[in-house]
Amino acid sequence: MSLLDPDSRTTRAAAVARSFAKRHGVPPQVVGVAPGRVNLIGEHTDYNAGLCLPVALPHATFAAVRPTGDQTLRISSAQQVEPWVGSLDDLGPGAGGGSGSWAAYVAGVVWALGQAGLGAPGLDIHVDSTVPLGAGLSSSAALECAVAVAVTSVLGVELDTVTRQRLVVACVRAETEVARAPTGGMDQTVAMLAQPGTALLIDFREDCTQAVPLHLGESGHALLVTDTRVSHALTDGSYGNRRAECRAAAQALGVPTLRQATLADVEALADPVLRARARHVVTEIDRVQQAVAALEAGDWTRVGTLMDASHRSMRDDFEISCTELDLAVAAAVRAGARGARMTGGGFGGSSVALVPRDRLAAVTASIDAAFTDAGYAVASHLLAVPSGGAGLEHPAPG
């Protein structure tokens, strides 16, 4: 069984700092780090004022940063061939600021921080990541949040809870307004606010979060994430289309968001597509509440059952799964997972399975065999060890 295992944050931050020094001839002033995430349950609920329960990964993105002394912004990434160079004056939504390129996620953060009263000087920024890109594990928010905490440090602003909440807002603006991926706020919230050993219950109506202890190790469980390697593109319209359908369903029901709708309301909707979409959202919000209660009671069988139900809801009602994800989920459950579901925005990406530790090898083997039999590309697996949120590293020079 081969698992994608990240280095420790400190080791990786030191490596990124060395790459920065090689590229720019001076060490960075600071390295910001922010985790990817896997969502345990609660998909496409964030933009419906609902609930979700993501877990921060040990896999993270690192942003080494140093002021340039002028208005220039130079952005490079170990995951991209082309660096991006521009001026602070060109940033923002629209044609400039790296729009249409990966650099929009970085330049967008610098712009959004400026809009929030955290205007930065020109910067050299070099990033590296252990989060798989475009796998539904939130490499985009990890990138935004790593840059945001590093810039905040350059500005001398303390990274307290209030600042973290401001950074969440700025990173969401960067993603939706500059990179133009119309996602909700789950990814940035968990990247900024996660605590080790816990999942983060996020309530988008009340605008509050609560750490939910996971006790995975003590109870003999692991969260296995499988990247199907089916690429998704959140900017291609499918995601935005689901958002629009949810808005239309809420409008037809006469409620501000689907959080205010009941299942009985939804079942009375005339349009079968809107009915199915809204049914997913309403039942999924309920499943998040039930999953939190089951975790608090240590009822892992129930957590697994809820994950299975969530997958069926995404497959049949919200229609955001694909055959590879359905196969990974079925193969995991067949080999002894307590439950499994696709995770993230959908249309490809990753699945997550709740697995008794003694079944881990059997479950990964089952998924691999199913993929081989179907002629699919080899999937990669990683363990979601519940990790902490964004922070700073100050690597020693050398």
Would you call 308 a catalytic residue per the annotation?
A: no
> Least CB distance from residue 140 to Mg ion, whole Å?
3
By a kind-dependent CB cut-off of 5 to 8 A, residue 32 interacts, out of ligand ADP, Mg ion, none, with none
> Least CB distance from residue 395 to ligand ADP, whole Å?
18
**Please, how many CA atoms are within 13 Å of residue 150, restricted to the half-sphere of its CB?**
34
> Least CB distance from residue 183 to ligand ADP, whole Å?
7
Number of residues that bind ligand ADP (CB under 6 A): 20
**Interacting span for Mg ion (CB under 5 A) from 64-72, 139-147, 313-321, 353-361:** 139-147
**Residues 140, 176, 313, 351: which binds Mg ion (CB under 5 A)?**
140
Give me the helices (H) in the chain, please: 9-24, 104-115, 139-154, 161-173, 186-193, 238-253, 263-267, 272-297, 300-312, 323-334, 360-374
**Interacting span for Mg ion (CB under 5 A) from 120-128, 133-141, 292-300, 386-394:** 133-141
What are residue 184's DSSP bridge partners?
none
* Nearest-angstrom CA–CA distance, 83 and 103: 8
Burial (Cβ within 10 Å: 0-12, 13-18, ≥19) of residue 392: middle
Q: Which is nearer to Mg ion, 127 or 327 (CB)?
A: 127
Inter-residue contact 347 to 322 (CB < 8 Å): yes
By a kind-dependent CB cut-off of 5 to 8 A, residue 45 interacts, out of Mg ion, ligand ADP, none, with none
Inter-residue contact 262 to 282 (CB < 8 Å): yes
The dihedrals phi and psi of 280, each to the nearest 5 degrees, come to -55, -50
Site string for ligand ADP, 336-375 (x = CB under 6 A): --------x-------------------------------
Token reading at 330: 């079925």
The residues, ordered by sequence, that sit 6+ positions from 272 with a Cβ below 8 Å of its Cβ are none
Site string for Mg ion, 329-358 (x = CB under 5 A): ------------------------------
What do you get for the CA distance between the two ends of the chain, in Å?
36
- 62 lies in the binding site for ligand ADP (CB under 6 A): no
Token reading at 7: 């280095």
**Residues 60, 201, 202, 234: which binds ligand ADP (CB under 6 A)?**
234
CA dihedral of residues 281, 285, 291, 292 (deg, nearest 10): 160
Burial (Cβ within 10 Å: 0-12, 13-18, ≥19) of residue 265: middle
- 127 lies in the binding site for ligand ADP (CB under 6 A): yes
* CA dist 378 → 329, 355, 359 (Å): 15, 20, 20
- 61 lies in the binding site for ligand ADP (CB under 6 A): yes
By a kind-dependent CB cut-off of 5 to 8 A, residue 230 interacts, out of Mg ion, ligand ADP, none, with none
Q: Which is nearer to ligand ADP, 61 or 189 (CB)?
A: 61
E strand or H helix that includes residue 85: strand 84-87
> Least CB distance from residue 80 to ligand ADP, whole Å?
5
**Interacting span for Mg ion (CB under 5 A) from 138-146, 191-199, 322-330, 365-373:** 138-146
Q: Which is nearer to ligand ADP, 181 or 285 (CB)?
A: 181
Catalytic residue among 187, 227, 317, 368: 187
**Residues 77, 130, 351, 364: which binds ligand ADP (CB under 6 A)?**
77
- 380 lies in the binding site for ligand ADP (CB under 6 A): no
Name the site residues for ligand ADP (rule: CB under 6 A): 61, 77, 79-80, 102, 105, 127, 129, 133-140, 143, 181, 234, 344
Which residues have a catalytic role annotated?
187
